Structure 1
Amino acid sequence: MTEIDAIDRRILALLQKDGRITNAELAQRIHLSASACHRRVQRLEEAGVISGYVALLDQRKVQRPTTVFVEITLTGQADDILDAFERAVRAIPDVLECHLMAGTADYLLKIVVEDTDDFARIHRQHLSRLPGVRQMHSSFALRTVFRTTAIPV
């Protein structure tokens, strides 16, 4: 793919704010013809810059108001240990994000739960069974100050 130019950046910024915007409205807002705008969006999709479109849900309205961050330290850093852990954690439907970290923990997980009982269930059924785990620390978010999915472009 060629470089992302200023017009592409404006398209990406607008789509991140409203993924349901029509091509006609998007074209109007960035001052392009509808066909030129559509070609640019298609090019960004085909290049994988736009990897998909999703609906963002309100955690509270789907009874998952509590965010838990789980720091995990493994027994080692060998590829087979990392691979086994990553395969297993991908299979846990409650885990929204898993990051390999540099720092005090090897991995950081983000989980949204109904309450402490729900987290206890997830811990008992899934987290405690993850391979290669030496230590686990969980922190409950008291309040989300702000959240965004928009990547600065």
Structure 2
Amino acid sequence: MPYRPDATDKRILKLLQANGRLSAKEIADKIGLTVTPTYERIRKIEQSGIIRSVVALLDREQLDLKTVVYCNVSLQVHALRVLQQFEKAVRKMEEVMECYHITGNFDYLLKVAVPDMNAYQKFLTQKLAALDHIAQVHSNFVMTDVKYTTAYEIA
């Protein structure tokens, strides 16, 4: 049976989503428990797999990744072997931040981060379009980040 976080666990999760560097003591102070039960709750949540990893979120613009592109990709063939080859290749592409197998008019949605239009053109022609069985790629360039979050709403 999957782990079901209670109200206290959900408060812990909200705090950790906002700041993954909080110590068990800091979390305990915020939720009104002592350190030991708070630590045990965090450990239980981690063991359940709800927390996949703790990472640092970087400012892409300061890393000269000013251009974000969402690519809709269609494949010519939908055989399992072709899908697996495409997914394996995409996982190796450093520019691809996210990749989803989707329904609708396209097969995949990719989020790509690159320094500029020239870098995207190079990525598109030398990496993505160079893969076997690519039928179409439609690119949508992000003009403004209106909302960006990594935190899920926890009811």
Q: Same fold (TM over 0.5)?
A: yes
Displacement after TM superposition at 1:131 (Å)? 2.8
Query: Secondary structure, in 3 states, of the residue corresponding to 1:149?
Result: coil
Displacement after TM superposition at 1:12 (Å)? 0.7
Contact 1:68–1:111 (CA under 8 A) maintained in structure 2: yes
- Which whole-Å CA distance do the structure 1 matches of 2:38 and 2:131 have between them? 46
Matched, 1:130 2:131: yes
Instruction: Flag structure 1 segments of 5+ consecutive residues without an equivalent.
Output: none
Query: Secondary structure, in 3 states, of the residue corresponding to 2:70?
Result: strand
Counterpart for residue 12 of structure 2: 11
* CA-atom RMSD in angstroms: 1.1
Structure 1 stretches (4+) deviating beyond 3 angstroms?
none
Displacement after TM superposition at 1:24 (Å)? 0.6
Displacement after TM superposition at 1:35 (Å)? 0.8
Contact 1:88–1:131 (CA under 8 A) maintained in structure 2: no
Aligned length: 153
Counterpart for residue 106 of structure 1: 107
TM value normalised by structure 2:
0.94
- Which whole-Å CA distance do the structure 1 matches of 2:29 and 2:83 have between them? 48
Displacement after TM superposition at 1:32 (Å)? 1.4
TM value normalised by structure 1:
0.95
Displacement after TM superposition at 1:94 (Å)? 0.9
